[in-house]
Structure 1
Amino acid sequence: MDGAEVEPARAGAREWCGLALLAVPLLVLAIDVSVLYLAAPALTADLAPSATQQLWILDIYGFLIAGFLITMGSLGDRIGRRRLLLFGGGAFAAASALAAFAPTAELLIVARAVLGVAGATLMPSTLSLISTMFPVPKERSFAIAIWMTTFSAGVAVGPVVGGLLLEHFWWGSVFLLAIPAMLLLIVLGRVLLPEHRPSGPREPVDLLSVGLSLMTMLPLVYGLKETVAHGPAVLSTLSAAAGAVFGTLFVLRQRRLTDPLLDVRLFTRRAFQAAVLLMLLGTIAVNGLFYLVPQYLQLVRGSSPLQAGLWMLPIAAASVFASLAGARLANRFGKRSVLAVAALIALLGCVAIGFTGPETGLGALIALVSLTVVGMAPAGVLGTDLVVAAAPPDGAGAAAAVSETAGELGVGLGVATAGTLVAAVYGASLGSDLPAGLPARAADEAAEGVAAANSVAATLPPESGERLASAARAAFTDAFAMTGLFSGAVMAGIIVLALIAIPRYGAESTV
């Protein structure tokens, strides 16, 4: 009938199989987040990198992913998202092979850099392809939930997989996991994944905008990482400030271009603003806890890395369940209601964590963290869905990149805040419970962290050493509990944001 609105086609078997294929590179990226830290000791013994080289080996991957997300999302909108995804998958496989067999630290740094750039092509491409494959809002929400739970599962099983590989093979084996996964993506991608090309002619990517995007993200991420590692300092503060200045210049540049790298008009939409802020706050809250739980398990409870990874599995299972259930419930009750109720559940869990202590059983603590994650997970899933839904079809790649960038910044801010809070609370708590007669130098070393305190305790007489180690464990437990309360405050903000800024059933209209 003339003038009637055409209903979008529901997804068929090809689309759901394509979603399973899109989960493969995301799973590889998620596992890659954690396995290198397990391989670092063996890698260091084999390649003998300097302290600076070791830092670059660990960090350059994340730096370049964050720096190139906006560029790659916009590039996919221009040249085709499937084309960019398959090219990025091939580059990721080749760089993984180079990293696995790198004979020197310098070559490994180069390989990690290429992995970061290639990784930046994969994340926005997969998410924007989902928006093409699943035009029905309810199906898209569920598909995004599956996509995001894949990443959560990968982060959780990464230490387990990495631990098993390192027990039987050399450190380079952790990189080889990506090669068969990316080859599968390349072979099946042309069959299962659709191509999305722009509806009209597009101008080439503006190189000045690319440079400004990099100069925004790289200093910001560096400043956050340095703050986590060494606390607030002049250099890290100046770095973050420089990123903010370049970010302002980037926005001004985009406003003047007829075909910008990122359509900043999206940020004038209330639903888009709220969705990005929702993702940022949710990521800050959850990563503050995720940053500390493995440390708590190993440093306070004495778990091995593999045991700590196994203890993290129930938390990952809770995230998977809540992400999938949240998408289903949002289709029935509306995004606003689900977000607010889920955040309330997380708030209650965070408050309970705030009252835990050394006497709390490990099973009970993991149950509380799992409950908290159940409430936190829907924020990421539904926030991502709102971001993608608010973008026009030809700008879904750039919008997906904004979503991923918010996630990257949220991880950095969450870890930075948790690290700063832990340092302050740990130092104050330990200082009031040090053994009598402890030398000033030993006290200063113990104040650096639980690991340092345990090292100092090993040099003391048994009674004093045990008192110091016990005090350090109690101080870290106090810091962990305080981080739970901080995450609870963030979740309270999410409740307010959901109730005042999120439409009940989301925003499906475009700019």
Structure 2
Amino acid sequence: MASAHVTDSAGEESRTSWTPLLAIFFAQVLMSINVTALPISLSGMIESFDATPTEVSTGIVTYGLVVAALVMTGAKLGQKFGWVVVFRVVIVVFAAAMVLMFLAPAVWVMITAQALAGASAAIIVPALVALIAENYRGEQQATAVGSLGSARAGSGVTAFLLGGILGTYAGWRPVWMILTALAVVVFALSFKLRSDTADRSVVIDVVGALLIGVSVVSLTLGFNNLNDWGAFLASDDAPFSVLSVSPALLLLLVGVLLGQLFFAWTRHRVRLGRTPLISLDVVGSKSERSAVYALFVVVALEAALNFTVPLYIQVVQGNTPLATSVAMIPFNLTVFVAAMVVVRFYKRFSPRTIALTSFLLTTAALVWLAFVVTNNWETVATIVGLIVFGAGQGALVTLLFNVLVTSSPKHLAGDVGSLRGTTQNLASAVGTALAGAMLVGVLGLVFAANMASSSLPESLRREAGLDNVNFVSNDDLRAALRPTSATPEQTDDAVRINSDARLRALKIGLLAFAAVSALAIVPVRNLPAFDPREIPDPKPRETV
């Protein structure tokens, strides 16, 4: 199919209609609302499915895991059968997953629906980048790339509004029926897209797909189960152990090993003149690798914060999804604005300068939150911290993605998209998993220490099940102690210990997030000190 671009007689590139971008924009919105609405619907799903927060968060992890595991294969499917055709097919599959979410009678059905949605998104993610590269050039391309960041951020605002209002007054399910309708709109808009013809000669590297897929699954499952199965030694809940070593740690080691084997296998295929699953040219320079590292960190931090805030507001404080929306809207609005506005700074400041400034903002915001946060998220000081973090985060996601797109030739756009999808979704899954594991782990340590110094007898702790620590509201804790032999004074003491442990776990967690953000400044120093758009369209490089 012909390109959407026309060149005038003076050699100037004419502007292309923005209509095709609507399909790309709303496809990103579709995926983003789905995954953002999950933590907002946390309390409703817990009640509906009679499940724990960890079980429900598995749905979030599953979506990211499946996308990250399959997105490189999805990129090759798009090249082989044509981006527009494949895009339409998977939008239909995604719509089916949204219907399944709406009807889900149990937590395992919800997780299955998210796995199906993730498999569809594994093709949609690289398709968005490839379709932008095919339909737009120059400044229009930079604007279109920025639109993906703003769509992602704007979807957060929309998801929190929809999830909060509907979750409070109509239940958590209607959000996914709205997404089904949006998928129909995206399908209709897809007929405005232009794409290259299918390349039937593209060969999918099955060995590479298996290596990277199993590697991503192993890493995600390992991170997700560090708390339940043990970080080093296997706990009683671990399904198995090897010489008493936790299977979570073993999965992490297997994931790292398979990841290294994938890169070795990819280099081997290139030497033989065969098509790899992904061209390593997209990470051939130090600046591109640094952009990937930084992108992973900022998305993981965003996922950790998006999991932590709803957890505290809904499960700990016992508030409604609407309260979560009110607390998070300033953050998401800031991300949306920053993702759009940062494009205007590309001609005035280098990517390195913008990224360093943005990571300084996210680090300062997390440190600030660790000191000012209380058991009430809706304070002015807390909202200010979220806004500052949102400004840095929104700018970083758009900037880093643009660095990757503008540093690679057009024919590698699908590979850039798959790299972005693998990085963002693996980071999201890891960020959510680590946040949950770390917060519960710290909570357990603080709670146990407070209990040991309290006057509560050991018999009461066993009777009330206080040895099995998780995040509960004060009202739920009082209800759990009511049928026991606890006196009113002992109940008040347990509630005080619970409140203190939760808040200290939150503060320690935020400081840990801040430390990760600060460490990301190291790779950012390798980003370009110039405007990437000033560099001519790069030629394919030797793979290193």
TM-score band by shorter chain is 0.7 to 0.9
| Distance in structure 1 (CA, Å) of the matches to 2:58 and 2:364 | 39
Aligned counterpart, 1:94: 96
Q: How many Å separate the matches in 1 of 2:344 and 2:59? A: 40
Q: For 1:484, give the aligned amino acid.
A: L
1:272 Cα offset (Å): 1.4
Q: Distance in 2 between matches of 1:10 and 1:497?
A: 37
Pair 1:486 & 2:490 matched: no
Residue 317 of structure 1 and its aligned partner are, at CA, apart by 0.6
Paired residue type of 2:256: A
Q: Are the aligned partners of 1:77 and 1:394 in contact in 2 as well (CA < 8 Å)?
A: no
1:179 shift after superposition:
2.6
Alignment CA distance shift 1:24-1:228 (3 Å) = farther
- Match among 445, 461, 474 for residue 500 of structure 2: 474
Q: Compute the RMSD of aligned alpha carbons.
A: 3.4
Where does residue 256 of structure 2 map in the other structure? 244
Local SS of the residue matching 2:472: helix
Per-residue Cα deviation, 1:328-347 (whole angstroms, up to 9, x for no partner): 21232221111112222222
Per the alignment, residue 3 of structure 1 pairs with none
C-alpha distance in 2 between matches for 1:267 and 1:411: 20
Alignment correspondent of 1:427 = 444
Distance 2:207 2:310 in 1: 41
* Alpha-carbon distance in structure 2 between the residues aligned to 1:43 and 1:484: 26
Partners of 1:218 and 1:158 lie apart in 2 by 27
Alignment-derived partner of residue 450 in structure 1: 471
Paired letter, 1:436: S
1:315 Cα deviation after fit? 0.8
Contact conserved, 2:135 with 2:194, CA < 8 A, in 1? yes
Aligned-partner Cα distance in 2 for 1:463–1:104: 39
Equivalent pair of 1:85/1:121 in contact (CA under 8 Å)? yes
Are 2:429 and 1:412 equivalent residues in the alignment? yes
Residue 372 of structure 1 aligns with which residue? 389
> 1:480 Cα shift?
2.2
Distance 1:88 1:499 in 2: 38
TM-score normalised by structure 2 residue count = 0.81
After TM superposition, the structure 1 stretch with the greater mean CA deviation from structure 2, 34-43 or 420-429, is 34-43
Whether the aligned pair in 2 keeps the contact of 1:357 and 1:478 (CA below 8 Å) is: no
Q: Does 1:256 align with 2:275?
A: no
What's the TM-score once normalised by structure 1's chain length? 0.86
* Contact 1:56-1:109 within 8 A present in 2 as well: yes
Q: Could you tell me which residue of structure 2 aligns to residue 356 of structure 1?
A: 372
Q: Aligned partners of 1:351, 1:56: CA distance in 2, in Å?
A: 28
Match 2:319 to one of 298, 303, 307 = 303
Q: How does 1:337-352 map to 2 (within 5 A)?
A: 337-352=353-368
Of Structure 1 and Structure 2, which has the larger fraction of its residues in helix?
Answer: 1
Q: Which residue of 2 aligns with 1:312?
A: 328
Once residues 385 and 35 of structure 2 are traced to their aligned partners in structure 1, the CA distance between those partners, rounded to angstroms, is: 25
User: Partners in 1 of 2:464 and 2:385 — Cα distance?
Assistant: 33
Count of residue correspondences: 501
2:134·2:196 contact (CA, 8 Å) conserved in 1? yes
Q: 1:127 to 1:48 in 2, by over 3 A?
A: same
CA deviation digits over 1:27-65, x for unaligned, max 9? Answer: 222222144566677778888999999887665444322
* 3-state secondary structure, aligned to 2:278: coil
Q: Distance in 2 between matches of 1:463 and 1:53?
A: 33
422-431 or 338-347, which deviates more: 422-431
Q: Percent sequence identity over matched residues? A: 20
| Partner amino acid, structure 2, of 1:437 | L
Tell which deviates more after alignment, 342-351 or 223-232: 223-232
Helix, strand or coil for the counterpart of 2:455?
coil
What does residue 411 of structure 2 align with?
394
Residues 284 and 414 in structure 1, CA contact (< 8 A), matched pair in contact too: yes
One-letter identity of the residue aligned with 2:335? S
Provide structure 1 residue ranges, at least 5 long, that are not aligned to the other structure: 1-5
Report matched runs for 1:167-246 at 5 Å.
173-191=174-192, 193-197=193-197, 202-227=201-226, 231-232=230-231, 233=234, 234-246=246-258
Between 1:44-53 and 1:212-221, the stretch displaced more is 44-53
Partner of 1:79: 81
Write out per-residue CA displacement over residues 71-107 of structure 1, whole angstroms, 9 at most, x where no aligned residue.
1122223332222211211222234335544678877
Matched, 1:436 2:436: no
Q: Gaps (5+ residues) in structure 2? A: 1-9, 235-245
Q: How many angstroms does 1:354 deviate by? A: 2.6
CA pair 488-170 structure 1, distance change in 2 beyond 3 A:
closer
Which amino acid is 1:128 matched to?
A
Distance in 1, Cα, partners of 2:103 & 2:436: 34
Which letter maps to 2:493? R
